[in-house]
Amino acid sequence: MGPEARVAPGPVVTAPFGHAKATGASRPVPMRRLVGQERKAAGMTLLETIRGPRDLDALSKEQLDVLAGEVRDFLVANVAKTGGHLGPNLGVVELTIALHRVFDSPRDAIVFDTGHQSYVHKLLTGRQDFSDLRMTDGLAGYPQRAESEHDIVESSHASSSLSWADGISRAFSMTGQRDRYVIAVVGDGALTGGMTWEALNNISDDNDRRLIIVVNDNGRSYAPTIGGMARFLNGVRTRRGYKHLYLSSRAVFNRLGAPGRAMYRGIRGGVHGFLSRFSNNEALYSNLDIKYIGPVHGHDIAALTQALEQAKSYDAPVIVHAITEKGRGYEPARLDDADQFHSVSPIDPETGKPIHKASGISWPAVFADEIVALAEKDPTIVGITAAMLRPVGLHLFAERFPERVIDVGIAEQHAATSAAGMAFGGMHPVVALYATFMNRAFDQVLMDVGLHKAGVTFVLSSAGVTGPDGPSHHGIWDLATLQVVPGIRIAAPRDGDRLREELEEAVAVKDGPTVVRYPKGLVPAPIEAVRRTTDGVDVLREDPSRDVLIVSVGGMATTALDVAERLNAQGIGCSVVDPRWVVPVPRSVVELAARYRLLVCVEDGVRVGGVGTRIRQDLRESGVDTAVTEMGLPDEFLAHGARADIMERTGMTPQHIASDVMGMVLGSKLPYARGVSGDTGAQPIVVRAKE
């Protein structure tokens, strides 16, 4: 089947299907002997016989279609239990099968952009135990080198695949491995990121390499892809002229028999193929001097295989444009207007409905309501997001004031600098991003927003440990990186009431950047303060015996109060404060610290260069010699898993923290509390008896 203007809905999966787990990486019985009646007699599905990509070679076209159906059944049944990126993977089943049929992974390098669309790849490379997907010690939700030699790029940050492919292909050329192919599978949403175009510029400048770019074009990243690039690709998908030219030209050459069909394939794949010339499809790529094949029906294995084989025959970079349907074959996903089940929690596979309903309100939901309320009062407030309108909570703002919300695509750098320009023009931009994606825009925050003292507010959701999506999704670097920007002010609300309060304070700042960051999940019950200092620090717990002062950062307030109770039960006086605005350090925190023997900063970011480090520096500058310890996360890439498991492993539970602080007060653990000397024989501290 040739390419079509639109991809028709596939067969619908409406019921769960059980599958036995794969028995290991070895293949005791060759695939060719486990076909037909023998396989059926063994009670095995085709999928269960696949231990590696080369097992696909023996399958007929009909068997490949059966396999595609079994893969979808498997994904629905298993991801429904664990949660994960269901919609994107349902959309790449045939594409991934074709890739592994045509290319020889791992000798040929396959890079996914991003890796959330790699579940099918995992299944075809011998990983069919999805029972602990994204859980501690289970399969990662993204490619992971420790799992398989078939996995290369682990990062979940979009738009980097072409740079990876450029580098790998250059290395292959330089080391005499010119027979190896590099394939970058890039979602159309990732094409909105600037790195993609930087890489294309370099690839086209040195195009004597076996590099194939597969554009997985489903019109969506998290949500519908936006921007001029998206409009171009949508025009390709829907252009009647293209389909007519394709079908008519193919028919003409088909009448000439096998030689005609060969001639057709060659012309179609040329740099300036006549089909793309007449439909203007070459406009995007012709100046780049990169061959273009497509659009190809992304759910037709035969058509995909033909296109990839044709691309493989060139000794130069080729773009293969595959049109796919996110959520293909699963009606609940296809009918989900928000994001086609981009990422789901555990669901009922029959209906697609969540199994566990949220028992509270999420942090983004609080932000979503408050930003609309603020925008109602202040017409200068505008919202900016990077292809994540709903996940970050700007969707209600967009519904209420559509002309005041801008989705820039996966382009955080552009978002930050554009925001600086809008601030110069008299607006107050609120840039809402996941905390992990803020890393991508650091230079722009520093040099465009910070240097020019632009009144821009960055609202960072999913800050801290996020859990199942792994190292590149944890939002643990923002506190350490952003506080080096001169003049920046960073707030970390502990509950929903404080988020509303601090957001209102942030958008009132006109002479520099502000940041409001909050964690993933549900907001806790309001945590009221005992009192508030004149500079806005909330005292959450105050003990008359001033042994330990805990400075709690944002969502760690519940943990900090738990630690205080545990220490108090051991006769150690402990007070807890929430600075609310953690950078710069409020003066009252320094003044309070001078009255205590030990200050403990509890934060959900990396402790190297974190808030605790900033407090230590400010205390020393003020001549305060109170001992300081930073209770934060290690400077390492934290594996995927449940948040509770990660906090346990990193020593960030109340039990671990209380035990460590007890040792510091008693002089058995560094840093010793003021007045304690654990190594000079000084008089030991007598712990106050509990009153």
How deeply is 28 buried, as exposed, middle or buried, from its count of CB atoms within 10 A (0-12, 13-18, 19+)? exposed
Half-sphere exposure of 488 (CA within 13 A, CB side): 25
- Please enumerate in sequence order all residues whose Cβ is within 8 A of that of 297, keeping only pairs 6 or more positions apart, or say none: 1, 2, 3, 4, 7, 303, 304, 322, 323
CA distance 490 to 486: 12
The pTM assigned to this predicted structure is 0.83
Please name the residue that has the structure tokens 């996903």. 333
> Cis peptide leading into 106, omega within 30 of 0?
yes
CA distance 201 to 195: 10
* 353 catalytic residue (yes or no): no
- Coil, strand or helix: which one is 279? helix
Locate all alpha helices (DSSP H) within 93-227, ordered by sequence: 93-102, 119-124, 161-174, 194-205
Which part of the chain is CATH 3.40.50.920? 539-666
What is the CATH number that goes with domain 363-519?
3.40.50.970
* 243 catalytic residue (yes or no): no
Which part of the chain is CATH 3.40.50.970? 31-334, 363-519
* pLDDT band for position 244 (cuts 50, 70, 90): very low
Q: What is 218-274 written as a DSSP string?
A: -SBSSSB--SHHHHHHHHHHH-HHHHHHHHHHHHHHHTTHHHHHHHHHHHHTSTT-H
Distances (CA, A) of 80 to 3, 290, 401, 488: 32, 40, 36, 43
Tell me the β-bridge partners of 211: 182
Please name the residue that has the structure tokens 């009606």. 331
31-334, superfamily in CATH?
Thiamin diphosphate (ThDP)-binding fold, Pyr/PP domains (3.40.50.970)
Kind of pairing, strands 538-541 and 574-578?
antiparallel
- Flag the least confident range among 13-27, 171-185, 234-248, 677-691: 13-27
pLDDT digit string, tens, across residues 154-174: 988 888 999 999 999 999 999
CB 578 within 8 A of CB 564: no
Options 412, 502, 603, 630, the catalytic residue: 412
pLDDT digit string, tens, across residues 668-690: 999 999 986 443 333 333 344 43
- Please enumerate in sequence order all residues whose Cβ is within 8 A of that of 493, keeping only pairs 6 or more positions apart, or say none: 499, 501, 502, 516, 518, 554, 555, 580
What's the whole-number mean pLDDT along residues 571-587? 98
What's the whole-number mean pLDDT along residues 539-558? 97
Question: Three-state secondary structure along 589-617?
Answer: HHHHHCCCCEEEEEEEEECCCCHHHHHHH
pLDDT digit string, tens, across residues 98-153: 999 999 999 999 999 988 999 999 999 999 999 999 999 999 999 999 999 999 99
Phi, then psi, of 432 in degrees rounded to 5 = -105, 120
* 616 catalytic residue (yes or no): no
Options 72, 291, 440, 566, the catalytic residue: 440
- Coil, strand or helix: which one is 109? strand
Q: How confident is the model at residue 11, as a pLDDT? A: 41
Residue 368 has what DSSP assignment? H
What's the whole-number mean pLDDT along residues 243-255? 45
Options 291, 326, 494, 614, the catalytic residue: 326
CA distance 14 to 12: 6
Q: How confident is the model at residue 59, as a pLDDT? A: 96
What is the CATH number that goes with domain 539-666?
3.40.50.920
Kind of pairing, strands 538-541 and 531-532?
antiparallel
